[in-house]
Structure 1
């Protein structure tokens, strides 16, 4: 597994390289955002470790740029690194498109576990260029907007346009869609998504916000996730069952 870390602490990067090598993880390091983005653009990596406190520009902004700018590495799994344990960092990280979060100092085994957990979620999802076939396709309609979820190929489209979802966003949407119309509390959703990182009510709200934003960016009518005041969230819309295979994303 090939991992890039962007962190201005060269000593930490060297220590991580030594540890990760014993777990078959090859670590490359960049000390500045500019160097890191150049390495992402010119070499292939399976995952990015991104420090929050970087010179010139912070890790949140780097994460936001990676997720919002079309590029070969736009969907790379990202784990944020921070020396602060503030819950706000976790929420902001999820809002900008990170897939996980780890607080310094961390135990080597915890880092390895998180790298493999996040990497495994992405390896289990076929790429968007894969043949969609006739997978397990579930479709919904709401106010003439369409939502299609292809479980077999881990692809989601609104009005025929593929959504670039992080692993947690995708898993949250699939969970809600599997029991569409049912209201889930934030605690229900935390339990459904519980991996290595402890999630919180605010992090669930951040995930829902990002999902809504991505769907509405395609069609303002695609408001498939509703907040039920005092209770939680629910996926709404008319289930229309199977449909023709998803179209390949344009561009």
Structure 2
């Protein structure tokens, strides 16, 4: 994790400074701010490997900030962990996941637990796995390192989740992937807390359209189970 840079956002200056010192003591670089609007500028300019934000900020709550980050093509592939108080309700956790959050951590927390979560999320994004082999199947060329997709040599613009979903389908092509497996692998959701198949349905529909009729129809729905990409 020593080569990683994390953007930390919290409007409690004392906590923010102490947290960044603790993270940096473990060899991870940090950039930080108390402002959500400033965080958006920093995220776009410095391209951190991960964003760690508090749920309650002065100018924009952490959920809205997460949504804006994920919807922006320039920052949409940056993972986000939301910090929140111990009185958080289950509905708030679900709300965060729906806005694109990759994980949650409840205050107060130990630095060891936080670093373990950061490491797990970054690994899930493949940033330290070395798995940068370009996938080529059915006229699709998917490059995990540059996070670009080409179909018959033409660039296809995908959101971060659409890219991750296609990556999974291509990697496991020909196999039926259960809804819970996709939610856990692509979104990082705990199926015990969130297992709404509509989340996947929306992204599958968009992915089919972007891949065009001939290729898109290869993504098959398996009723009551999940999806598969036919070879």
TM-score (norm 1): 0.67
How far, CA to CA, are the matches of 2:184 and 2:77 in structure 1? 25
Q: 1:57 to 1:192 in 2, by over 3 A?
A: closer
What is the CA-CA distance between 1:124 and the residue it aligns to?
4.0
How far, CA to CA, are the matches of 1:206 and 1:11 in structure 2? 41
* C-alpha distance after superposition, 1:216-239 (max 9, x if no partner): 56368546655544x321124x42
Q: Determine helix, strand or coil for the equivalent of 1:102.
A: strand
How far, CA to CA, are the matches of 2:187 and 2:100 in structure 1? 17
Aligned length: 220
How far, CA to CA, are the matches of 2:47 and 2:165 in structure 1? 28
Q: Determine helix, strand or coil for the equivalent of 1:45.
A: coil
What is the CA-CA distance between 1:26 and the residue it aligns to?
2.4
Maintained 8 Å contact 2:142/2:167: no
Maintained 8 Å contact 2:221/2:228: no
Residue equivalent to 1:234 = 227
Stretches of structure 2 that go unaligned for 5 or more consecutive residues are none
What is the CA-CA distance between 1:76 and the residue it aligns to?
2.0
What is the CA-CA distance between 1:85 and the residue it aligns to?
4.4
Stretches of structure 1 that go unaligned for 5 or more consecutive residues are 127-131, 141-147, 240-251
How far, CA to CA, are the matches of 1:115 and 1:107 in structure 2? 13
Of residues 83, 86, 89, the one that matches 1:86 is: 89
TM-score (norm 2): 0.72
Q: 1:59 to 1:191 in 2, by over 3 A?
A: closer
Q: 1:190 to 1:160 in 2, by over 3 A?
A: closer
How far, CA to CA, are the matches of 1:101 and 1:91 in structure 2? 10
Maintained 8 Å contact 2:135/2:170: no
